[in-house]
């Protein structure tokens, strides 16, 4: 990515008018926003489910690492890039 | 095509009325406007929203005409929200007071898309045929962003306002919009009647492409920009409605269910009505929705084309109106029809366009 990644102390929050939704007809999770429909894969769903508006990026990475029994360092880059992309698309803000 | 291979719809466009205080000469409503006395009731719409959600629709855009011309707009938004749909309101802003806006948002409106005719007050008056339309819209936009509801500015562009595109982008930023749609007029219906006044020049079209490219780069992460270029200067068709009966369905004010805004111009098709058909039945079983799904309806040039999964053959209505064949490749396509969309010789480039040259759509 060319853009600067959000810092580990930043607290990602959903933008107003954007939300995570379980699409029961297609059995998947999606992000809904203004003229926006983003289909999430399993990883995306796991990350977005941890966005609670209070935890910082580092805490989110640690919780995901615990949940999937991996080393936090191994997923830090991917989670940071995912959240940064979501900020650029105005799904999240910090 | 059968039911197994037809994906569920994701988007509902609810055209709740064709009535509008504005008279824009490129209105996307059909030239045969539907009258108030045959509009669906509040309860009918509530059922449409519930059936849509069950079918798999995730987003509804409540549109018109001007949806605020319906007195029950708050109830309609409430019913869509109750059905667990994401609710977009597509409005001119005219006829919505600050108090009414608060009611609409309280009922579950998630996002507001505001149309903008021109950043110049006289240009806005010329197009909308309504006094002070720009001033009233700017006031409305401020109310929306004051309560932090996401705002999209939908700027419809044509020859008379394209030279003010940089100012239009700047205004969207100043208003605090999250999204900007720069949508060139689609020359169907009302717009086709005014094509010689509204069609941009090649030079304007080229400059627009460049301005949009630069703005997208410089405003990345701040203002999301969607762009619809001019068909007449394009090489390939747009994926009209993302394909016929693939993603979206439209319910017209009288309850007719359509695959696109202009589908009623395809008079060889019968479009079922929600009054006596379930949406599920219409989506999966009706001849109208199945007519242009898949590729069996296509001419060879489309069926064998590597772009058929990209643009799905383009717009059926334009194929019929310009080529006289609803199954033909979209006339935009340079592979199928290198010379179908020429700029007419009678296109007038006038210094001053007076209202009496314009064919306005009526209010109702």
Is residue A5 in a domain? Answer: no
Is residue A53 in a domain? Answer: yes
Report d(CA B125, CA B20) in Å as an integer: 15
Is residue A70 in a domain? Answer: yes
Mean pLDDT value across chain B: 93
Q: Which residue has the higher pLDDT, B281 or B348?
A: B281
Number of A to B CB contacts under 8 A, please give it: 57
Continuous segment of H or E residues that includes residue A87: helix A72-88
pLDDT band at B221 (very low <50, low <70, confident <90, very high): confident
- Position B332 scores a pLDDT of 87
Is residue A8 in a domain? Answer: no
Burial of B111 (0-12, 13-18, 19+ CB in 10 A): buried
For range A12-28, the mean pLDDT: 96
pLDDT above 70 as % of chain B: 96
Please indicate if any CB of chain B lies within 8 Å of the CB of A33: yes
Q: Other CB atoms closer than 10 Å to residue A12's CB: what's the count? A: 23
pLDDT digits (tens, 9 = 90+) for B222-251: 999 999 988 888 888 989 899 999 999 999
Asked if A34 lies within 8 A of B179 by C-beta distance, the reply is: yes
User: Does B317 score more than 70 pLDDT?
Assistant: yes
Q: Which residue has the higher pLDDT, B349 or B320?
A: B320
Is residue A60 in a domain? Answer: yes
Among residues B141, B43, B49, the alpha carbon closest in space to that of B86 is found at B49
Please indicate if any CB of chain B lies within 8 Å of the CB of A3: yes
pLDDT above 90 as % of chain B: 82
- Position B142 scores a pLDDT of 98
pLDDT band at B4 (very low <50, low <70, confident <90, very high): very low
Among residues A92, A13, A8, A12, the alpha carbon closest in space to that of A58 is found at A8
In B268-331, at which residue ranges do the beta strands (DSSP E only) sit? none
pLDDT band at B188 (very low <50, low <70, confident <90, very high): confident
Is residue A32 in a domain? Answer: yes
Shortest distance between the Cα of A89 and any Cα of chain B, in A, equals: 6
Asked if B150 lies within 8 A of A34 by C-beta distance, the reply is: yes
CATH number, position A85: 1.10.10.1150
Q: Which residue has the higher pLDDT, A38 or B342?
A: A38
Shortest distance between the Cα of B28 and any Cα of chain A, in A, equals: 18
User: Does B95 score more than 70 pLDDT?
Assistant: yes
- Position A2 scores a pLDDT of 64
Mutate to test the interface with B, among A35, A84, A89 (most CBs of B within 10 A): A35
Is residue A69 in a domain? Answer: yes
User: Does B3 score more than 50 pLDDT?
Assistant: no
For range A6-10, the mean pLDDT: 94
Least confident range of B3-7, B15-19, B162-166, B308-312: B3-7
Shortest distance between the Cα of A71 and any Cα of chain B, in A, equals: 31
Q: How many structural domains compose chain A?
A: 1
User: Does B312 score more than 90 pLDDT?
Assistant: yes
Is residue A43 in a domain? Answer: yes
Domain ranges, residue A79: 13-93
Q: Which residue has the higher pLDDT, B214 or B343?
A: B214
Q: Which residues contact A34 (CB under 8 A, 6 or more apart)?
A: A17, A18, B88, B110, B111, B113, B150, B152, B178, B179
- Position B338 scores a pLDDT of 74
User: Does B74 score more than 70 pLDDT?
Assistant: yes
Report d(CA B338, CA B176) in Å as an integer: 42
User: Does B42 score more than 60 pLDDT?
Assistant: yes
- Position A37 scores a pLDDT of 96
């Amino acid at each position: 990515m060319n853009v600067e990644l959000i810092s580990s102390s930043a607290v990602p929050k959903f933008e107003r008018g954007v939300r995570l939704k379980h699409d029961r007809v297609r059995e998947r999770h999606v992000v809904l926003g203004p003229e926006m429909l983003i289909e999430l894969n399993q990883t995306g769903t796991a990350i977005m489910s941890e966005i609670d508006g209070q935890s910082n990026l580092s805490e989110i990475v640690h919780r995901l690492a615990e949940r999937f029994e991996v080393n936090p360092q191994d997923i830090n880059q991917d989670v940071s890039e995912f959240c940064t992309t979501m900020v650029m698309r105005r799904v999240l803000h910090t | 095509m059968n039911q197994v291979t037809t994906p569920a719809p994701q988007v509902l466009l609810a055209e709740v009325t064709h009535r509008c205080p504005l008279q824009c000469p490129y209105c996307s409503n059909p030239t045969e406007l539907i009258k108030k006395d045959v509009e669906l009731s509040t309860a009918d719409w509530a059922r449409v929203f519930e059936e849509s959600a069950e079918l798999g629709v995730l987003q509804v855009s409540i549109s018109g005409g001007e949806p605020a011309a319906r007195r029950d707009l708050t109830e309609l938004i409430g019913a869509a929200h109750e059905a667990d749909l994401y609710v977009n309101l597509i409005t001119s802003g005219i006829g919505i007071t600050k108090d009414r806006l608060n009611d609409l948002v309280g009922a579950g409106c998630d996002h507001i898309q505001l149309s903008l005719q021109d950043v110049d007050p006289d240009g806005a008056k010329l197009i909308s045929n309504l006094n002070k339309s720009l001033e009233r819209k700017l006031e409305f936009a401020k109310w929306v962003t004051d309560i932090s509801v996401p705002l999209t500015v939908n700027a419809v562009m044509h020859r008379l306002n394209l030279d003010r595109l940089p100012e239009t982008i700047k205004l969207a930023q100043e208003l605090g919009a999250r999204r900007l749609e720069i949508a060139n007029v689609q020359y169907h219906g009302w717009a086709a009647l005014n094509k010689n006044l509204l069609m941009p020049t090649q030079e304007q079209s080229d400059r627009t492409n460049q301005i949009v490219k630069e703005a997208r780069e410089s405003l990345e992460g701040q203002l999301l920009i969607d762009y619809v270029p001019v068909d007449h200067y394009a090489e390939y068709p747009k994926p009209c409605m993302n394909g016929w009966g693939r993603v979206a369905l439209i319910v017209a004010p009288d309850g007719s269910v359509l695959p696109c805004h202009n589908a009623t111009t395809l008079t060889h098709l019968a479009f079922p009505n929600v009054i006596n058909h379930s949406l599920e039945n219409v989506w999966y079983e009706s001849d109208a929705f199945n007519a242009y799904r898949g590729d069996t309806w296509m001419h060879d040039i489309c069926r064998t084309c590597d772009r058929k999964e990209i643009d799905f053959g383009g717009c059926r209505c334009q194929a019929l109106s310009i080529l006289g064949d609803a199954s033909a490749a979209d006339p935009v396509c340079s592979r199928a029809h290198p010379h179908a969309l020429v700029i007419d010789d009678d296109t007038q480039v006038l210094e001053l366009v007076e209202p009496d040259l314009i064919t306005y759509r009526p209010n109702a």
